[in-house]
Every structure is written in C-alpha cells, then in structure tokens.
C-alpha cells in the first residue's frame, strides 16, 4: 500500500492559499482534503475546497476573525470561512466513535494526527490530503486507486459500510460519475449490506441517486448493480431480464431503460423520468394470439410507481410533478402539425414539451433499429415548436390579445364564465379559426354571449 509525502504543485485559488497562510500564521497546519484533491488528480477543476487542520474550531475562528465565519457543524469540528468569493469548509482533525444509527458517529474526538483523520474516511480516493509545501499525503494508496480507476474502502469495507450505510450508494454514485470499478471486497460489502439502505434518510438517498443517475456511466451501474439499487427502487428488480417479446424492442425492460438513460442530457428530472418510464411494464404484460407481448396501460402504472417512490424519497413537488407528467405522455403519439404542437405547448408549457421530445428521442434510441425512423418525426415536431415560439404564436391564455379585464369591461362579471370564454377563444386561435387580435376576439366574445 503506497503512502508518503509526494511532491506535487497544484494551481490553487488565491483564497485557498490565503487560508493556508492564516492558519500557519496562527501556529497551525491545514491540508486540502477529499474531493478537491481527488479532482486535481483526475485533472478536473474543483468547485469546492474542503480543508482539515490541527486547530480546534475556536482556534480556527480566531485565525479568521477578520472574515465571515459560519459555524456549519461546529459540534463535529466544522466551520465555513467566506474568503475571496469562496466558501471553504475547515474541519478539525478528528477520530470517530461507533455509528449506532448507521449514519452518524456517536462521538467525535479531536486529534492532532492527520493520519487518524484520513483513516476514518470512506474510500481511499477521498483519503488524500495536500499541502502547498509538503505535497500530496497519500497514506492509503488513493493515488494508485485513482490511476487504476478503482473504488476501494479505507480499511475494512464491511466496517466502513456498517458505520454509514449511505456509503453503499456513494460507492455506486462514484462508479457512475467517474467510471470506476468497485474493488472486490468493497463490492462484496456493498452487496451484502445493501439492505441497510432502508435505515438511511430518504433525502440523503434521493440526493445520491440523482447524482448517480446523471453519471456518464449510469448504464453500466444500473445493469451491474441492480440488486443494490433495488433496495432503493424495488420495481427495478422485476424489470431485470424481462423479455419484452415485441418487435419494437431488442432489449429487456431494464436494459432498454439503461440505454435510454444514457441518451438523455444529465438533468435530474429527465433521468428520473426515464428510470421509471417503463417500470410499470412487468405488471401489465399480456400476449396476443400471435404470442406478441403488449403492455397496455403501462404508462399509468409507471406514473403511479414514480409518484410513490419519489414521494417516499421526499423529492420536491416540482420534480415529482415534471417526472410524472413526462412518464404519463412518454408513449403518446404527437402529430407533426402546428395545431397539435400548439396544443401540447398549452398542455405542458414550452420547457416541459421540450423535455418530452428528449424523453421520446432517448426512448426510440433504445428500441429496435428498424424503428429509428421515428426520430425524423420527432425532429419535425421540434422544428415546428421552434417556429411557433420564434413567431410568438399564441398557445396559452397569457398569449391571448384579450384578458379577463377586457371581458369585465364588456359586462361579463362571473369568474367561471370569464374562464370558460377565454378558453374557448384560445381553442379557436390555436385551431386557426380566428386570428389573435383584440378586435377579432371581442367580436367572437359577443357571439358567444349572444348564443348564451
């Protein structure tokens, strides 16, 4: 196992160098630690900078008395220093006690020993430290594991996972985001202990899952780690190896889902929608007289599953709403006409309709090759939508050249009646029966009033 002080120079922001300087002026030593060091070794530009130091939280605050300091988690030794536009978390070196709740240490003890601090961390690639003069501190072989693209626990992986079950999902998230493989014992530990995920807070699991789903290697992780992910989303399990027995599909349900996922932009609500879009298929499967498989009503079942699981994971309502609506309509036929596109824009809004096109496109790319012609139809729909928006065509009530105040001025005071008339006018404009001009809409309103 490699260890030692490796000479290397990192190009650090001035704010970070200033933190090193102020700690040393106070008689202490700080080190960059964790993800930012890992990112430098991966030749990525870190976004966040975390540090560990031999100073206590109170001593850290004294060192930065001229700057804003937030007591982020002072009980566990963490404060955040705001300096030069950066929010830099600084944590006192610490040892941790037992993890009774399988998530948080029962007790934290501060230490002056950097190696003790690094030894409590989850994976070797996150147990790296850096100092501008001392270079890279790598006591657990994290540098080699990064070179070998390997995820390996610090110490005993079974103990690490037993301490904090969220590390199970973190391992899979790193595999999806970085494209690394789990080392054999680490893989064994996450598989054997995946049932412990049920003890983790829903919000933390949702956050890890969102990052995992947006990883560039999500397909591989979803197909190889189905058993573990099934502890979070049980409906993934019956989708594995489920033969669709239909000429539209050359993959089983789970493989189709995984391939479709990687064909989407890495936007959480899109990836969540695609994860769930066909998970209602196993319970809706039927065969016709020719032995062809069909999944009547699977969109509705998938929507129900998504709503239930995302609510259980305590995702925000806006995300759940978007995901469920995209699943609801993912299999609906859209006619490539202006009228049809404007009605969809009215139903979903322009951003969500764009999302639906993306979902449909990714869905087609994960189907049999002979059905790729559908991509041309989707491109045509996208072009029509672009034209409608560019020409400021009317497809929503806010686009109408007339509004409720105009109807009140015409003597229509009942709110429900105003709403009904405006919707009728919008329908006529979308169907291109009348033009969207105030004079024309007022005349049509008079006709509607006379009929009533």
- How far apart, in whole angstroms, are the C-alpha atoms of residue 418 and residue 436? 17
Contact 30, 22 (CB under 8 A): no
What is the span of the domain harbouring residue 252? 233-390
What is the CATH number for 138?
Answer: 3.30.460.10
In a domain? residue 429: yes
In a domain? residue 89: yes
Q: Which of 148, 163, 181 is a domain's end point?
A: 148
Angle, CA of 32, 149 and 51, to the nearest 5°? 10
Residue whose entry in the numeric block shows the structure tokens 């049999």: 368
- DSSP letter for 183, please: P
Per-residue pLDDT for the chain (452 aa), expressed as one digit of tens each? 344 445 677 889 999 999 999 999 999 999 999 999 999 999 998 989 999 999 999 999 999 999 999 998 877 889 999 998 899 999 999 886 555 555 555 667 888 999 999 999 999 999 999 999 999 999 999 999 999 999 999 999 999 999 999 999 999 999 999 999 999 999 999 999 999 998 899 999 999 999 999 999 999 999 999 999 999 999 999 999 999 999 999 999 999 999 999 999 999 999 999 999 999 999 999 999 999 999 999 999 999 999 999 999 999 999 999 999 999 999 999 999 999 999 999 999 999 999 999 999 999 999 999 999 999 999 999 999 999 999 999 999 999 999 999 999 998 888 899 999 999 999 999 999 999 999 999 999 988 876 55
- How far apart, in whole angstroms, are the C-alpha atoms of residue 212 and residue 274? 13
Q: Which of 148, 180, 201 is a domain's end point?
A: 148
Report the pLDDT value the prediction gives residue 101, as an integer from 0 to 100. Answer: 53
* Domain match, 282 and 337 both: yes
* Domain match, 446 and 342 both: no
* Domain match, 36 and 100 both: yes
Handedness of CA 327, 329, 334, 338 (dihedral sign): negative
* Domain match, 351 and 443 both: no
* Domain match, 238 and 378 both: yes
Report the pLDDT value the prediction gives residue 449, as an integer from 0 to 100. Answer: 77
* Listed residue (68, 193, 173, 54) closest to 125, CA to CA: 173
* Domain match, 283 and 347 both: yes
* Domain match, 375 and 416 both: no
The pTM for the full model equals: 0.91
What's the number of domains the chain is made of? 3
Structure tokens at 283: 């319970």
Question: Cα–Cα distances in Å, from 417 out to 48, 343, 362?
Answer: 55, 22, 42
In a domain? residue 193: no
């Amino acid at each position: 196992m490699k260890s030692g002080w490796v000479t290397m120079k990192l190009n650090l922001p001035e704010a970070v160098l200033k933190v090193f300087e102020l700690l040393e002026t106070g008689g202490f030593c700080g080190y960059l630690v964790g993800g930012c060091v890992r990112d430098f070794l991966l030749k990525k530009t870190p976004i966040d900078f975390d540090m560990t130091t031999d100073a206590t939280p109170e001593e850290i605050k004294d060192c930065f008395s001229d700057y804003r300091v937030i007591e982020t988690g002072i009980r566990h030794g963490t404060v955040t220093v705001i300096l030069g536009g950066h929010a830099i978390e600084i944590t006192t070196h610490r040892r941790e006690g037992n993890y009774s709740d399988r998530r948080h240490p029962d007790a934290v003890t501060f230490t002056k020993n950097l190696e003790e601090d690094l030894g409590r961390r989850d994976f070797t690639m996150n147990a790296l430290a850096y100092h501008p003069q001392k270079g890279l501190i790598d006591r657990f072989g994290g540098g080699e594991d990064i070179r070998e693209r390997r995820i390996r626990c610090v110490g005993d992986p079974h103990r690490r996972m037993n301490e904090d079950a969220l590390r199970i999902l973190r391992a899979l998230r790193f595999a999806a985001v970085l494209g690394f493989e789990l080392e054999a014992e680490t893989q064994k530990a996450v598989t054997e202990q995946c049932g412990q995920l049920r003890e983790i807070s829903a919000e933390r699991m949702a956050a890890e899952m969102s990052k995992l789903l947006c990883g560039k290697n999500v397909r591989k992780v979803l197909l190889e780690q189905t058993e573990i992910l099934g502890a979070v989303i049980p409906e993934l399990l019956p989708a594995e190896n489920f033969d669709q027995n239909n000429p539209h599909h050359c993959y089983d349900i789970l493989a189709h889902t995984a391939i479709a996922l990687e064909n989407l932009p890495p936007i959480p609500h899109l990836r969540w929608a695609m994860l769930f879009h066909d998970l209602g298929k196993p319970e809706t499967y039927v065969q016709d007289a020719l032995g062809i498989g069909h999944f009547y009503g699977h969109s509705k079942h998938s929507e129900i599953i998504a709503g239930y699981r995302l609510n259980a994971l305590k995702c925000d309502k806006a995300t759940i709403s978007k995901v469920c609506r995209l699943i609801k309509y993912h299999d609906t036929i859209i006619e490539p006409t202006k009228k049809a596109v404007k009605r969809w824009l009215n139903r979903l809004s322009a951003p969500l309709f764009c999302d639906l096109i993306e979902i449909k496109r990714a869905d087609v790319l994960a189907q049999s090759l002979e059905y790729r012609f559908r991509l041309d139809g989707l491109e045509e729909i996208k072009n029509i939508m672009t034209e409608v928006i560019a020409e400021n065509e009317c497809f929503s009530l806010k686009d109408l050249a007339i509004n409720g105040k105009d109807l009140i001025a015409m003597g229509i005071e009942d709110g429900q009646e105003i709403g009904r008339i405006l919707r009728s006018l919008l329908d006529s404009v979308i169907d291109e029966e009348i033009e969207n001009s105030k004079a024309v809409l007022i005349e049509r309103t008079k006709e509607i009033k006379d009929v009533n």
